[in-house]
Structure 1
């Protein structure tokens, strides 16, 4: 333990003892007055001790100050020594660092030289390899091009041979089909048209004969008018004349007599022509009724013979009213579409009566517009029946011409089959053409790559993976 600390402890103990003694003296002062002298002596001792302690303390401080001074000097010496050692070490480290830097620079220079030399050797080796690869690829491409040209020549020859055979076969088939079709059409049409024209000529001759007979009949109308005096006979005369016309102009299946045209009615029309319906086997009636208002017509003729204008006008108005009434009755009794046509025919047995009705202003048009009734005389009805007969004949010819249409349908089917064969041939030709185009594209791609090889430098390698495979193209090109 240091001396200073020992002295401090001793002083503290002594001070404590002094304090204890003073306390004891104060407590006992009352009982022991003789102690004051001892206390004074003790105080003196304490003062001496205090002085001694102060001196010791001062001496201790001086000694401590001297120790501190020595320690500070020793510490300064040590710090100076350490600073000198640190400087020496730093200088040594700088020298070693400089030496290491020099060695590193030398190593880097040597490494750079080796890398440059290795790079130069690598470029030379790569250039040599690329040249060798270019020569090899050029040889391969030349071989592939020659093989491709050989295959294309063989394929072209095969295609030309096949196309020539197909063209010859098609030409032979077309010529055979054309001859067959021409022969069948010529024979069939010649036969059918000959029969049709013969039938039409016969009917026209019959119509001509009928017209001649009608003219003779019209010549004798005047005599018959004087002979037939009552109404019943005049009606029978009109019906007989109408029936004769129908019998001469039409066949028995094309008209009917005394037929009920309106379902549910008891009124029978004198004659009705059977017209073809919309469906097969159906027919529509065209009502024809004969009327002969000879009294009104005779009064008109008599008035005209004596030049009585008023009587002629009155007789003309009466005749017009009679014709209008007959037309209204015909429409109400016999016209019922769709069982009949939407119009009927009012037959006047004499040409003079028909001419007088036609001569009345607006009468013919009003009858057609208001009552859907057409007025016809002997000649007009003959022409109408002739037209209907021609229509019937035309319909028969059209029905019989279905055989010709069947033949044409068979020819059309054959042409359809031939079209299928041509379509298959076209597809094969398109496939061959596509194969040739694909081979041409491959060849052009190879030529482009060859041009690129010739223009590339040693630092730009050729990527052979970019060139499409030629084996697949060759297989496709040889496919049919």
Structure 2
């Protein structure tokens, strides 16, 4: 805007100077062309106007050059500043992403170490519990055998005493038959019958104790053989593990995983979906199973040392496990509402260890039935891994916020580019304004040329003025100028 003002001011001064010269010429022509003093003054005035115009043009060119240098320096500084800021931001982002990647790798390594340690501890615990269970079963078997032997000895002793007493009484009866009459025989028989009745009552009491013990054993077996009771026990154990290792909002009980089905799974882990909205959560179904009958038949066959019975019982147990896995697959594995696999929880480590012995069965359940087998310790390790996964997901969500910040920085850089384009547009406009000023100067020259049209008697003065304007700067030959004028006269 300053350059344009200076240019316009210079043009106005030049125009005023030209108009002044034209007025002087007009006055001179009016008074007559014989005055040499007037011509000399006119020549000096023309020279001074030309010098002023030359100085104004030089100042204008110098000012434009200084403005261009200042603008180029400013653009260089802005470019360097933007490059430096971009480098700092990129370095900061690289450091933050490197730290985030390092933290994730460390967390995953720590999680793997904990999982391996948990599996080792689980194996030790399983082995220890298996040994303890075997020891308890041995002790229970020995105790039952001892109790049965004691009761059998007691019963045999009572029967033997009864037989001896009967024989003794019969012998006494035979001895007194000949000694006493029928009344004495009847009295003896009555006494013998009384003794026999007492002995029978004692035997009956002993049999009642045996019956009571048998009823207690039957009640215990009934409790352990009741499917509903076993299911409730396994479900309570599973719920206690979930309450201990998972947050309340990370799982639910009695979940209807498929909106189009009425099947309800005991427990389900709530896995987050693609967004933070909990409405699109995916369920991981978990169902507890306890096939005790098949497992007890396997243990009894192993205690008897019957290899064929052990193989049959083991095959039966594997078939039951496979059937339960298919039931879980058909009822609870319903993608996309659930994961593409479910978890079967076995309530005892001994049962889980027995199933784990068959690696082919584990792979078959995973491939065909899409079911993972887990015992108490293994399920605890799985829940710990899931909890670590939830923590990692929270870290990834924070990383998403970092990417949003980077996006805003990118937007700011785009705006900075737009500002640079606007500066370039203003520079182009300034250049165009200078070009337009040059064009307007040419138009003014053409306009002045049309104004200079005079009558024939005044053509000499105008042509002299044009020659003076077109003469080079080094031309100071005033005699030649005026001599040419004299020749014209």
Q: Identify the TM-score tier after normalising by the shorter chain.
A: 0.3 to 0.5
The structure with the larger Rg is: 1
Taking structure 1 as the reference length, the TM-score comes to 0.47
